[in-house]
């Protein structure tokens, strides 16, 4: 068959390699976030809407979306206008007193994340999850924390464990008990590690075991595991967690940094009506600008001003609610909840078109694949069922084929992050034409791989 994909310019990795080599003289590893390093390394120079351009000038349709924030697309014109307007109007990061804009953002935010009473803002998702655990410990007077295998909750000590853990490091699947801890960073003191317990996703019995064994302050989990593709909770699991939290008095933290505002304006909790005691958000609510949030009930959130100093928590930061990300978030939220735009309807339509087309092509080429999708977040697993947890995924998914498939698509100008199982994200700036071009490239990629 002839290759009809739109990006005719061959992948030229030399200019990207030169950027990495230059940066490596000054920045360890050559880039500011090691999670951005992938094979191949591509240095991007520009982005607009659904498209990216690398430093060699090659154009891509983007499904990586900067690790998922770009729900409206790159450089959304309304957002750009809002950000430039606050700068032109002379707003600054005064560092003293409240601002009208942070109040406006909080009100707008809570009109979306409506199961929470109050919200506090930070600069990154990792700060939000760190503060969630701190608030939970202050509220309960307990110290142990339950994590979920395959859930990424940020870079700080208390959560930096067991994400895409090699099965050899786990040894065997553990149901009803805890996995060995496998830190994803060096430098976590043993005393801190001993307060952390990792359980399998969709395993309520393991949570009960932890509750019987330890004084648990909090359990934190992504409600849908979106750092290992899209792994959904089984019926009854999230409800079960809610009941265990109510019965045992630990703080259930839903980390909605990825699901929030991508799954819908109220995130996973808006879709299901099942509330976390605390919830963390980031990424999509500001369409790529650096801001994150911790939301929850007043009792817990107000610990920041508790009269009891033994419970008062410090939630502070020089750049919290800097006017630029605040303006970006307000502009984004206004668009996300505008019924005339129907952002989520548009996203769902595009994502369904992509899913249907991909499934047809996998069938055409006899590829065993299961596509899992939550709105515009999607992942194709090369296995015969939707994974229910990391062990299932790690032992059944064809990682080698996934890596080759991603590479063939990149050659053809379709950019998903090259690491197998990483979630794809569609933005409001994508069009039917983008999806059709993606499917044509997919057809050509599969033909190449399986010819
Ligand atoms: C679910 C989840 N929580 C927390 C984080 C940490 O956010 P950040 O990278 O902004 O610190 C991430 C980042 O990917 C995430 O996906």
pLDDT for the residue 446 = 98
For residue 360, the 8-state DSSP code is H
Q: What are residue 120's phi and psi, to 5 degrees?
A: -130, 145
Which of ligand 1's atoms lies nearest the C-alpha of 125?
7
Q: What is the pLDDT of residues 360-398, one digit of tens each?
A: 999 999 999 999 999 999 999 999 999 999 999 999 999
Q: What is the mean pLDDT of residues 417-423?
A: 98
Selection from 438, 371, 429 nearest residue 70 by Cα:
429
> What does the block give as tokens for 37?
């390093």
Choice from 66, 69, 121, 125 to test ligand 1 binding pocket (greatest atom count within 8 A of CB): 125
Query: Measuring CA to CA, how many Å separate 99 from each of 14, 19, 102?
Result: 47, 40, 6
Distance CA 155, CA 122 (A): 15
Structure tokens that stand for 28 in this block = 């360890």
* Residue 156 CB-density burial (10 A; 0-12 exposed, 13-18 middle, 19+ buried): middle
pLDDT at 420 over 50: yes
Whole-number Å distance between alpha carbons of 302 and 300: 5
230 vs 239: CA distance, rounded Å: 19
Ligand 1 proximity of 153 Cβ (cutoff 6 Å): yes
What integer best gives the mean pLDDT of the chain?
97
Q: Does the Cβ of 260 fall within 6 Å of ligand 1?
A: no
Give 2's pLDDT tier (boundaries 50, 70, 90). Answer: very low
CA 406 to chain centre: 19
The CA 64 to ligand 1 mean position distance, Å, reads 14
Give the pLDDT score at 139.
98
Q: What is the C-alpha to C-alpha distance for residues 430 and 445, in angstroms, rounded to an integer? A: 21
Q: Are 294 and 320 in contact (CB under 8 A)?
A: no
Average pLDDT over every residue of 56-85: 98
- Total-model pTM: 0.97
User: 397: which 2 tokens?
Assistant: 């998914």
Q: Is 402 in the pocket of ligand 1 (CB under 6 A)?
A: no
Sheet harboring 292-296: ordered strands across? 118-122, 292-296, 278-281, 251-255, 216-221, 144-148, 196-199
Q: Which residues of 298-316 are buried (b: 16+ CB within 10 A; e: fewer)?
A: eebbebbeeeeeeeebebe
What band does 451 get if pLDDT is binned at 50, 70 and 90?
A: confident
Q: Which CATH class is domain 14-75+342-450?
A: alpha beta
Nearest to 16 by CA among 44, 50, 39, 48: 44
Residue 367 alpha carbon to ligand 1 centre in Å:
32
Mean pLDDT along residues 184-205: 98
DSSP at 259: T
Probe target for ligand 1 pocket from 148, 153, 253, 379, with the most ligand atoms within 8 Å of CB: 153
Give the mean model confidence (pLDDT) for residues 435-440: 98
d(CA 448, CA 451): 5
pLDDT digits (tens, 9 = 90+) for 333-350: 999 999 999 999 999 999
Rounded to whole angstroms, how far apart are CA atoms 232 and 225? Answer: 7
Mind listing the pLDDT tens digit for each residue in 52-70? 999 999 999 999 999 999 9
CB atoms within 10 A of CB 247: 10
Task: Label residue 56 exposed, middle or buried (CB < 10 Å: 0-12, 13-18, 19+).
Answer: middle
- Strand, coil or helix: 48: strand
State residue 8's pLDDT score: 76
Q: Is the pLDDT of residue 434 over 60?
A: yes
pLDDT in tens, 113-124: 999 999 999 999
- In the structure encoding, which two tokens stand for residue 73, read together? 């697309």
Ligand 1 centroid–CA 149 distance in Å is 15
pLDDT at 194 over 90: yes
Does the beta carbon of 69 sit less than 6 angstroms from any atom of ligand 1? no
Instruction: Compute the distance from residue 153 Cα to the ligand 1 centre, in Å.
Output: 6
Q: Using a 6 Å cutoff on CB, does residue 255 contact ligand 1?
A: yes
Atom of ligand 1 nearest to the CA of 222: 1
Domain extents for the chain? 14-75+342-450, 77-336
Query: Whose alpha carbon is nearest atom 3 of ligand 1?
Result: 153
Report how far ligand 1's centroid is from the alpha carbon of 73 (Å).
19
DSSP, collapsed to helix, strand or coil, labels residue 166 as coil
Can you tell me the distance from the alpha carbon of 227 to that of 391, in angstroms, rounded to the nearest whole number?
14
| DSSP code of residue 60 | E
Q: How far, in Å, from the CA of 22 to the mean position of ligand 1?
A: 28
State the Cα–Cα distance between residues 292 and 307, nearest whole angstrom: 26
How far is the C-alpha of 258 from the C-alpha of 226, rounded, in Å? 7
Which pLDDT does position 5 carry in this prediction?
60
Is the confidence at residue 87, as pLDDT, over 50?
yes
From ligand 1's centre to the CA of 361, what distance in Å? 32
Kindly tell me if the per-residue pLDDT of 291 is higher than 70.
yes
Buried b (16+ CB within 10 A) or exposed e, 359-375: eebbeebebebbbbbbb
* Per-residue model confidence as pLDDT tens digits over 128-157: 999 999 999 999 999 999 999 999 999 999
Residues forming a β-bridge with 393: none
Pick the CATH number of 77-336 from 3.40.640.10, 3.40.50.300, 1.10.8.10, 3.50.50.60: 3.40.640.10
């Amino acid at each position: 068959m002839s290759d009809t994909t739109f990006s005719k310019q061959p992948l030229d990795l030399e200019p990207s390699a030169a950027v990495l080599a230059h940066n490596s003289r000054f920045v360890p590893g050559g880039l500011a976030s090691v999670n951005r390093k992938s094979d191949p390394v591509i240095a991007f120079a520009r982005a607009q809407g659904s498209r990216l351009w690398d430093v060699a000038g090659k154009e891509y349709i983007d499904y990586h979306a900067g690790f998922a924030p770009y729900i409206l697309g790159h450089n959304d014109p309304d957002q750009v206008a809002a950000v430039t307007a606050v700068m032109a109007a002379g707003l600054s990061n005064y560092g003293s007193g409240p601002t009208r804009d942070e109040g406006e953002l909080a009100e707008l935010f809570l009109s979306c994340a409506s199961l929470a009473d109050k919200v506090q803002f930070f600069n990154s998702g990792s700060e939000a999850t760190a503060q969630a655990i701190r608030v939970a410990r202050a509220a309960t007077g307990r110290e142990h924390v339950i994590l979920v295998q395959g859930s990424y909750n940020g870079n700080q000590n208390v959560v930096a464990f067991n994400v895409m853990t090699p099965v050899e490091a786990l040894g065997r699947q553990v149901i009803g008990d805890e996995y060995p801890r496998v830190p994803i960073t060096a430098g976590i003191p043993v005393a801190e590690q001993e307060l952390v317990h990792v359980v399998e996703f969709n395993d309520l019995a393991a949570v009960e075991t932890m509750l019987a064994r330890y004084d648990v302050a909090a359990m934190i989990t992504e409600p849908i595991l979106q750092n290992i593709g899209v792994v959904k909770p089984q019926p009854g699991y999230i409800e079960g967690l809610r009941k265990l939290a109510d019965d045992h008095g630990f703080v259930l933290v839903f980390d909605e940094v990825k699901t929030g505002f991508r799954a819908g304006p109220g995130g996973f909790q808006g879709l299901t009506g099942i509330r976390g005691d605390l919830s963390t958000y980031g990424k999509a609510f500001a369409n790529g600008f650096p801001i994150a949030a911790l939301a929850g009930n007043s009792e817990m959130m107000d610990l920041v001003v508790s009269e009891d100093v033994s419970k008062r928590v410090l939630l502070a930061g020089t750049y919290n609610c800097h006017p630029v990300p605040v303006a970006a978030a307000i502009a984004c939220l206004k668009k996300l909840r505008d019924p005339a735009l129907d952002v989520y309807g548009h996203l769902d339509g595009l994502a369904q078109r992509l899913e249907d087309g991909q499934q047809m092509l996998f069938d055409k080429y006899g590829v065993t694949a299961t596509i899992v999708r939550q709105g515009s977040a999607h992942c194709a697993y090369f296995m015969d069922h939707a994974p229910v947890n990391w062990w299932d995924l790690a032992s059944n998914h064809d990682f080698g084929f996934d890596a080759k498939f991603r590479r063939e698509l990149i050659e053809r100008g379709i950019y998903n992050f090259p690491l197998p199982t990483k979630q794809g994200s569609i933005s409001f700036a994508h069009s039917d034409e983008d999806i059709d071009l993606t499917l044509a490239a997919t057809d050509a990629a599969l033909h190449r791989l399986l010819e």
